[in-house]
């Protein structure tokens, strides 16, 4: 049996994903949390750490986790970093908030994709900055379709008050992996307008397309290196998000010093177990990660075929992440979330990501659940279409 087929009962375990539908027959496919048991090497490392029985303060970050991040970035992205560039974070969203505070003052503009992981909006509002939204446009050719930030609109919407680009690559919710050509164009604009860049790359180790490669924005050239705060974590890839740990890589000494001060003033210390998990993930989790990618690819390919066979639904191909972005506009639903819940599938409504015509469906679960979800969706949509006839 494939290890990812293993059924793990997450009910009554305080799982946010599963508890939302406690006692109801609804398959939870919403929040970006996988149902997979993490790599055994991570569990083992945690067990060893727990067995010491002492949980006092620790180095932040530990030598172990710093070295693991350094070698992970070198082996995966050929990115040679100095371990001093690492700033540990209790969560990536808090890092996004700190990045907003790196701009000078309230009212400064932060530019970002219009369709985006919702906390990009919260952190901008919470820090009293102004969000400038850039539409995503659909790039189509005979082979595929993909959503990319409208690069022309990016250039045209920058004003002298714009100070920061909040970027997401791979993109959540569209699953885009930006090419070096696209990244270079975006960088050129940021350089011309002297923007700080915060690149959220939390999904970088979840690239599903074999011919696509994640390129950290900061590795494009020396200028990108000096203006970029890169946010990464092992959390999504290894399903350890509940432990709470991510990190910023900031090569520029001045930027990093300022970022560190803000982190120290505003954020709590890092969970010691999360550091242990991240160290084990990056040092020993590669084989498990590759197996997971293979499994997710199968789920994605199945969904793409089956969802696109349902009249009224359009799923776009995704290059990375385990989040399917599906256009449901043809169904003309007042409340897509409710419609799919009544069908027995809990999705995330696209309105939270900036597009009410879509839903986002998390397929990081065992294949049999994906099959069941498709069957429920098919049945509900068929019934709806029949009613409309």
Interface contacts to ligand PLP, rule CB under 6 A: 32, 91-93, 117, 168, 172, 200, 202, 233, 235, 241, 246
Least distance (Å) between residue 170 CB and ligand PLP: 8
Cα–Cα distance for residue pair 107/93, rounded to 1 Å = 20
CB of 375 to ligand PLP, least distance (A): 27
Q: Which is nearer to ligand PLP, 32 or 45 (CB)?
A: 32
- Looking only at the bridges linking them, the beta strands covering 345-346 and 27-28 are parallel
- Reference 365, options 387, 385, 345, 382; nearest CA is 345
Cα distance between residue 178 and residue 148, in whole Å = 8
Is the CB of 93 or the CB of 349 nearer to ligand PLP? Answer: 93
Bridge partners, 162 (sequence order): 109
Beta-strand ranges (E) seen in the chain are: 27-28, 86-89, 109-113, 130-134, 136-140, 145-149, 162-168, 196-200, 228-232, 246-249, 314-315, 323-327, 345-346, 348-349, 358-362
State the nearest-atom distance from the C-beta of 281 to ligand PLP, in Å: 14
Nearer to ligand PLP, 274 or 374 (CB): 274
CB-based burial label for 43 (10 Å; 0-12, 13-18, 19+)? middle
CB of 172 or CB of 343, closer to ligand PLP: 172
Residue (247 or 339) nearer to ligand PLP, CB: 247
Q: In what order do the strands lie in the sheet with 228-232?
A: 86-89, 246-249, 228-232, 196-200, 162-168, 109-113, 130-134
Q: Could you say which DSSP state residue 134 is in? A: E
Q: Are 172 and 92 in contact (CB under 8 A)?
A: no
Nearest to 216 by CA among 233, 236, 199: 199
Rg over CA atoms, the chain: 21
Q: Which residues contact 286 (CB under 8 A, 6 or more apart)?
A: none
Please say which residue, 18 or 339, places its beta carbon nearer to ligand PLP: 18
CB of 109 to ligand PLP, least distance (A): 21
Please, what is the minimum distance in Å from the beta carbon of residue 39 to ligand PLP? Answer: 18
Closer of 127 and 235 to ligand PLP (Cβ): 235
Least separation in angstroms between residue 298's CB and ligand PLP is 22
Least Å distance, CB 360 to ligand PLP, is: 10
- Closest separation in Å from C-beta 27 to ligand PLP: 19
Contact 248, 89 (CB under 8 A): yes
**Residue number, 206 or 331, with CB nearest to ligand PLP:** 206
Q: Toward ligand PLP, which CB reaches closer, 92 or 99?
A: 92
Tell me the closest approach of the beta carbon of residue 378 to ligand PLP, in angstroms.
Answer: 27
- List CB contacts of 91: < 8 A, sequence separation 6 or more: 244, 245, 246
């Amino acid at each position: 049996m494939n290890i990812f087929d293993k059924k793990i009962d997450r009910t009554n375990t305080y799982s946010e994903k599963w508890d939302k539908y406690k006692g109801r027959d609804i398959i939870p496919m919403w929040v970006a949390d996988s149902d997979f048991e993490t790599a055994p090497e991570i569990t083992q490392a945690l067990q060893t750490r727990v067995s010491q029985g002492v949980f006092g303060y620790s180095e932040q970050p530990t030598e172990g986790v710093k070295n693991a991040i350094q070698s992970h970035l070198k082996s995966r992205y050929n990115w040679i970093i100095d371990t001093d560039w690492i700033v540990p974070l209790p969560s990536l969203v808090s890092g996004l908030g700190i990045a907003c505070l790196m701009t000078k003052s309230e009212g400064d503009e932060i530019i970002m994709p219009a369709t985006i992981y919702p906390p990009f909006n919260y952190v901008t509002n919470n820090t009293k900055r102004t969000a400038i939204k850039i539409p995503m446009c659909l790039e189509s050719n005979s082979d595929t379709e993909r959503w990319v930030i409208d690069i022309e609109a990016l250039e045209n919407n920058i004003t002298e008050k714009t100070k920061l680009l909040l970027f997401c690559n791979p993109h959540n919710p569209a699953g885009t992996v930006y090419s070096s050509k696209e990244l270079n164009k975006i960088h050129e604009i940021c350089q011309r307008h002297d923007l700080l860049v915060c690149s959220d790359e939390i999904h970088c180790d979840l690239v599903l397309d074999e011919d696509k490669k994640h390129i950290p924005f900061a590795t494009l050239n020396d200028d990108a290196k000096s203006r970029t705060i890169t946010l990464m974590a092992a959390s999504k890839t290894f399903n350890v998000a509940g432990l709470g740990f991510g990190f910023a890589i900031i090569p520029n000494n001045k930027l990093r010093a300022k970022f560190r001060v803000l982190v120290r003033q505003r954020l709590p210390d890092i969970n010691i177990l999360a550091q242990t998990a991240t160290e084990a993930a990056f040092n020993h989790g590669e084989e498990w990660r590759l197996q997971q990618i293979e499994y997710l690819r199968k789920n994605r390919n199945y969904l793409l075929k089956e969802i696109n066979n349902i009249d009224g639904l359009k799923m776009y191909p995704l290059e990375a992440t385990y989040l399917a972005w599906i256009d449901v506009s043809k169904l003309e639903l007042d409340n897509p979330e409710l419609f799919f819940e009544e069908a027995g599938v809990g999705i995330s409504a696209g309105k939270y990501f900036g597009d009410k015509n879509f839903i986002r469906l998390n397929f990081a679960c065992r294949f049999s659940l994906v099959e069941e979800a498709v069957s429920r969706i098919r049945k509900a949509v068929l019934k709806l279409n029949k009613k409309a006839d």
